[in-house]
Amino acid sequence: MAVKAWSKLAIVAFVAAGTAGCGSDMDELDAYINEVKQRPGRGIEPLPEIIPYEVFEYQADDEGFRPPFQPDTPQSAGGAAGGARPDPDRVPEFLESFPLDTLRMVGTLDMSESVYGLVQTADGLIHRVILGNYMGQNDGRITGITESEITLVEIISDGIGGYIERDAAISLQN
């Protein structure tokens, strides 16, 4: 029984010693808080003055300005001289709905004097393509099929209203 009493007394002594260290001198902090509360408050700064919007009415005829949506420089030879241009009346083919970098060449197929390219889409389906088919999202027309790659000519915007042709290829993936 004496051991239990000593154990209880030791626990009470530990708790008392632990809580004695927790009570710190808060007088200094309280004095600082009271000093800050006694300082006079500052006024709120006024809002900045709002400058009204000045309306500009475009009048190209009166002052010789160029039309606002026409580029400063002449259009590229592709757009202005009737060069490469996507055919808006052509019905898009299925493989044109995929970005070119998501398509993979997985082989070729020789059948009845025709060479077909085998192209795999991201969903794992394999499609047969021949010369003249289109694929990729930049009007990419297939111009060559070899055992190691499928070459295309893409029609891309040149950034100033015209179009240019760009060579592209998909190589055989092992």
Residue 170 burial class via C-beta count within 10 angstroms: exposed 0-12, middle 13-18, buried 19 and up: buried
Q: What is the CATH number of the domain that holds 143?
A: 2.30.30.830
Confirm whether 48 is domain-assigned.
Answer: no
Confirm whether 5 is domain-assigned.
Answer: no
Confirm whether 99 is domain-assigned.
Answer: yes
- pLDDT for 78: 44
pTM of the model: 0.53
Give the pLDDT of the chain (174 residues) as one tens digit per residue. 566 667 777 777 776 666 655 556 788 999 999 999 898 888 888 899 999 999 877 766 656 666 677 666 554 444 444 567 888 899 999 999 999 999 999 999 998 889 999 999 999 999 999 999 999 999 999 999 999 999 999 999 888 888 999 999 999 976
- pLDDT for 76: 44
Residue 154 lies in domain: 84-171
DSSP 26-50: -HHHHHHHHHHHHSPPPPPPPPPPP
DSSP at 21: H
- pLDDT for 151: 96
- Residue 98's nearest CA partner among 124, 118, 122, 117 is 122
Instruction: Please compute Rg for the chain using Cα positions.
Output: 39
63-113 pLDDT tens trace: 666 667 766 655 444 444 456 788 889 999 999 999 999 999 999 999 888
**CB-based contact 87:96 (threshold 8 Å):** no
Confirm whether 102 is domain-assigned.
Answer: yes
- pLDDT for 1: 54
Confirm whether 16 is domain-assigned.
Answer: no
Confirm whether 162 is domain-assigned.
Answer: yes
Number of domain units in the chain: 1
Confirm whether 154 is domain-assigned.
Answer: yes
Confirm whether 63 is domain-assigned.
Answer: no
- pLDDT for 144: 95
